[in-house]
Structure formats: structure tokens, C-alpha cells
Amino acid sequence: MPLSPGHLDWMAHIEGEAGKADMDLDYLRRGFCWWSYFIVTPLMSLSSPPSEFEYHNIELTEPVKGCFLVSPLTSLNLSIESYRKWFSVDVLGKEVQDEISQGYGWGMAHDVSEGWWEGLNSADAILITAGEEEVFRDHIIQLIDVFERRLKSNVTAYIADKEAHDGPLMDFTARRAPSLTTQQITHWIIAQLKD
């Protein structure tokens, strides 16, 4: 999904809540800058299919404190029950669905051998969220199970009742009050990054 005002408002919300918690905002901002440089900037300038995308290799000297995944696309297998059940009500448009069907997805985490994840230690903690009514729900739940069994990270999962794909982004795009999912993510980020 391309960078939108909703994304920026969401990050500003997290920054505001972190400030209320007396968190070092420079530390938080460096994290967001890193994220935007390595993830958002290349995607915004994407002018060719993902197969020709230039990936950045980042070598970690120690695990990052935390990583959060919100409604991640984890597999190109679209024959799952949640896809069939929620396709007509999920916020993803037909254009995105067509791109996924054509194989234009990035890093299909659930489509690799489960052994690939064994002992991976790139983050101290990982939060994965999904909406109960989103098309990717089944794959996300399956990936959570793999992460809990295979990673060294502390894995936290949050499945939001009556929510579709990317609920927190929808909060800020629609200019509504932060949902419980947004609050959970915000509190988790602050807890992981606050020293």
C-alpha cells in the first residue's frame, strides 16, 4: 500500500503517545526514519514490477528491540477460507487483489519452508495483528503459530474483532478515534522501545 496521509497521521499519533510516556522521541524518530528509508522510500519510487525491485540488505549486529506487522500479506495462496469469506467486505480493492493473484507481493513469509524460520533472532519481540474479518486472517494466524514455535523472539498476536484489513490505518484515514487495535500497537511499541 503506498504511503498516505493516514500513515503519517498514524505515526504522529504514536509519537504523541510516546511523548506522553516520557519516551526518548529521538530514539523513536530514528526508528521511523529507518523504516521510511528502507521500506517506504523504495516502494514510493517503484516504477517497475517487484521482481526488478532493488532490495536493501541490512546486517544486524544484535536483534532489534521490536518489529510489528499489521495485517501482513504472508502468502499468495488465495484459496483459504478467510479470503473467500471476507473478499467482498475487506478494504483491499480489486486492483490490489489482482496484483496479488499475479504474484506481485513482497516477501511471502508463509510460502517458505517452516524450517527457514528455525531459531531466527532478528528481533527481541514481534507483534502481529490481523482483523477477524480480513482476507489474510487465516494465513496470519498460521504464521503466528510458526513464529511462536520457531523464532527466538517473544511473539505477541492480536486479532481484532469485527475489523477488516489494516484497521489502524483506516482509523487515521477516516479521521476517527484510535481503535483498540491502534491502542494495542501503540502501547506495544512504547513498551518495547522505552528503556
Give pLDDT tens digits for 104-118.
655 577 777 888 888
Beta strands in the chain (DSSP E): 64-70, 123-131, 154-160
Selected residue with higher pLDDT from 189 and 40: 189
Please provide the average confidence, as pLDDT, over all residues in the chain.
Answer: 76
Q: How far, in Å, CA of 13 to CA of 178, rounded?
A: 9
Stated pTM of the model: 0.73
Task: Determine the longest span between alpha carbons in the chain, in angstroms.
Answer: 46
Banded pLDDT at 95 (limits 50, 70, 90): low
Comparison of pLDDT for 47 and 88, the residue scoring more: 88
pLDDT digits (tens, 9 = 90+) for 36-58: 433 433 333 334 444 444 445 56
pLDDT value for 1: 59
Predicted pLDDT at 26: 66
Cell of 86: 471476507
Integer Cα distance of 106 and 142 in angstroms: 18
Q: How far is CA 24 from the centre of its chain?
A: 23
